[in-house]
Amino acid sequence: MRRGPSLFNLASLGLGLTFLYAPIVLLVVYSFNDSRLVTVWGGFSLRWYGELMHNEQLLASVWMTVRIAALSATVATLLGTLAAVALTRGGRFPGRTIFSGAVYAPLVTPEVILGLSLLLLFVAVGAPRGFWTVSAAHTTLTLCYVTVVVQARLASFDRSLEEAAQDLGCPPWRAFLLVTLPNIAPAVAAAWMLAFTLSLDDLVIASFTSGPGATTLPMRIYSAVRLGVTPEINAISTLLIGLVATGVIAAYLIQTRGVRRASR
């Protein structure tokens, strides 16, 4: 039997979580600060949120960012799921090492390198930089995350269910669509969410591959941050954090329900 957590364990958990959450909590709290100064509490106010609503440039970049994230997450989920199927079920095929290398490497490759190399590609083929180039770049970045998430689920999926469907006369692709896909759907949905938020967050790759007229939200936040800490950035950050946290917790609940159903 495992012993329960000791005092030392509880202390490390407490300190660890405080370290992770304190800066975020402070940021959120100070977004409601009426004073412009970071360290002076001037009373509760929503004025910075009100000012955001009138910032047309900012709203335009939010819309641009969301569109890029939705498109790139969708393409990455399609390609990443295919890659996961090939890696879990393809056995040893020629070129497998290069393939899995290309799939996992973007996970850890520094973003400046991904950004620079993609920019050179777009310059070489003469693609006008903007919405499409950032979307393609983000698809490349997020594809590997999708593969890892889906692969973990596929590996634990009982293959015999699909084989049973085929024994009963179901063509393989239909068996995949009707039996396997519904089973891995929670993982695929979670992977899409992950890809979406990664794209939403990315500053470095977007800066390299974007052009005039396609400024994303992180690019706007970055140029504002360079000029100093302002309550407006706190407000937009709080909105983003709230949005993402809601999405992640929802995805978590969906996934745990899916796992429970699958194990029943």
Partner 1 sequence: MSAQHRDRSRAAAIAPFLWLGLFFLFPFLLVLRLSLSDIALAVPPYAPQLDLSAGVDGVREFLAALDFETYGRLGGDRLYLAAYLSSMRIAAISTGILLLIGYPIAYAMVRCPPAARRALVLAVILPFWTSFLIRIYAWIAILKPAGLLNAALGAVGVAPLNLLNAALGAVGLAPLNLLNTEAAVHIGLVYAYLPFMVLPLYAVLERQPAELLEAAADLGCTPVQAFWRVTFPMSLPGVAAGALLCFIPMVGEFVVPDLLGGSQTLMLGKVIWTEFFANRDWPTASAVAVALIVTLIVPLTLFQRQQQRLLEGGR
Query: Among the candidate windows 42-50, 51-59, 117-125, 179-187, which touches partner 1 by CB under 8 A?
Result: 117-125
Residue that is written with structure tokens 């083929």 in the block: 125
Among positions 201, 211, 254, 262, the unique one binding partner 1 when judged by CB under 8 A? 201
Q: What is the chain's alpha carbon radius of gyration, rounded to the nearest angstrom?
A: 22
- Residue 43 near partner 1 by CB under 8 A: no
- b/e code 75-104 from CB counts within 10 Å (16+ = b): bbbebbbebbbbbbeeeeeeeeeeeeeebe
Among positions 117, 178, 257, 261, the unique one binding partner 1 when judged by CB under 8 A? 117
- Residue 186 near partner 1 by CB under 8 A: no
Cα–Cα distance measured from residue 22 to residue 217, given in angstroms and rounded to the nearest whole number: 24
Instruction: Pick the closer one to partner 1 by CB: 60 or 106.
Output: 106
User: Minimum distance between the CB of residue 56 and partner 1, rounded to whole angstroms?
Assistant: 22
Interacting residues with partner 1 between 213 and 242 (CB under 8 A): 218, 221-222, 225-226, 229, 233, 237, 240-241
**Which residue type occupies 170?**
C
Angle between the 131-156 and 56-89 helix axes, to the nearest 10 degrees?
A: 40
Among positions 45, 55, 74, 100, the unique one binding partner 1 when judged by CB under 8 A? 100
Interacting residues with partner 1 between 143 and 172 (CB under 8 A): 143, 147-148, 151-152, 155, 159, 172
Among positions 59, 123, 161, 181, the unique one binding partner 1 when judged by CB under 8 A? 123
Exposed / middle / buried, residue 185 (Cβ in 10 Å: 0-12, 13-18, 19+): middle
